[in-house]
Amino acid sequence: MSNAVLKVTTDQLKKMAVFYQDYVVKPVPHSLFTAKKNQTTITGYNSGKVLFQGQNAENEAALWQPSYERTGAVNPPAAKKEVKKEIASKAGLPAGFSEWSVIGSDEVGNGSYFGPLTVCAVYASAEQLPLLKKLGVQDSKALTDARIMAIAKQLLQQVPHSVINLMPEKYNEIQPTMSQGKMKALLHNQVLNHLLKKIAPEKPKAILIDQFELPSTYFKHISDQKVQVKENLHFQTKGESHHLAVAAASIIARYYFLKTLAEMTEASGYPIPSGAGANVDLVAAEMYREGGLELLDKYTKLHFANTQKAIRLANR
């Protein structure tokens, strides 16, 4: 168990709230958001203090500041500016990157109790970028579900892509043997490899993964894989604002995720919500009453704390 604490500006805090919106849990008092990711709880307080607690606290905090301070050491006021500059400087990406021919990848559903874990890679060549802009491709978190569905249908026809929609039953089978971080890394590596083959002999100038863990951790996770996509590979948090390929990948991933939730609603007869909040527990409790863990296994990520909450609710 480790801890890290950052002091950030209001703007930065809002960015973090958006970044972690797929992972939100019930917020604690005086916080803008509370999220749980990779066995780490991230709490963004209205005061600008962000607390990272748990197994991957240091890695997670490092996403936001290369030289984060440990618990107890409150950053001097000057550090506030540095955090902002760090995010604004598009750390690490070469000049002109957003105009390059790039494969971008992103995942959806890792913070949602119900539904699949969906990972998508998209190839956006330099020539296609104006078209993507015209279609309205931008950060999927800024788009309504209806817009996402409409834009995705166009994208599916227009851009080379690769998707893995890992359904709950399969997810639950794999999950006990590896962390969700490793699972995500393997899936990114797979869609990237698949898409590279699909567009060959054409090659992207670079590959950009919407960063979800430290690159060193990512490479450790894929180190046992036969094929490891590493050439010209970049990582960037908020990747969708650095290249449209990532934004397009996040839109297609969300499309598949939402479509699957709709199909699950149809198949199960329960209104299946996304996320991991209290409304999710209520639906899960009903489902558990009807069919126990066997039924939940078809529709949910069983290792989430929501399973225990649902069982408690059902047994009341």
> What is the binding site for Mn ion (CB under 5 A)?
106, 210
CB of 147 to Mn ion, least distance (A): 18
Q: Which is nearer to Mn ion, 106 or 213 (CB)?
A: 106
Report the alpha-carbon distance of residue 212 to residue 116 in Å, rounded: 18
Total residue count of the chain as it appears in this document: 316
Q: Are 232 and 204 in contact (CB under 8 A)?
A: yes
Smallest separation, CB 187 to Mn ion (Å): 12
Of 210 and 213, CB closest to Mn ion: 210
Q: Which is nearer to Mn ion, 33 or 45 (CB)?
A: 33
Helix (H) or strand (E) holding 54: strand 49-54
Q: Cβ 167 to Mn ion, closest distance in Å?
A: 20
Residue 197's Cα: distance from chain center in Å? 24
Q: How far is the CB of 107 from Mn ion (least distance, A)?
A: 6
Least CB distance to Mn ion at residue 41 (A): 19
CA diameter of the chain:
60
Would you say 106 or 281 has its CB closer to Mn ion?
106
For Mn ion, the closer of residues 60 and 210 by Cβ is 210
Nearer to Mn ion, 253 or 285 (CB): 253
Summarize the chain as % helix, strand, coil (round to 5).
Answer: 50, 20, 30
User: By beta-carbon distance, which residue lies closest to Mn ion?
Assistant: 210
- Nearest-approach distance from CB 218 to Mn ion, in angstroms: 13
Q: Which two tokens stand for residue 250?
A: 């996040």
Q: Which two tokens stand for residue 92?
A: 């690490």
Q: Of the two residues 242 and 309, which places its CB atom closer to Mn ion in the complex?
A: 242
Give one DSSP letter per residue of 132-188, joined into a string: HHHHT---GGGS-HHHHHHHHHHHHHHS-EEEEEE-HHHHHHHGGGS-HHHHHHHHH
Q: What is the smallest separation between the CB atom of 249 and Mn ion, expressed in angstroms?
A: 9
Separation between Cα atoms, residue 282 and residue 140, nearest integer Å: 27
Measured between alpha carbons, how far is 262 from 30 in angstroms, rounded to an integer? 35
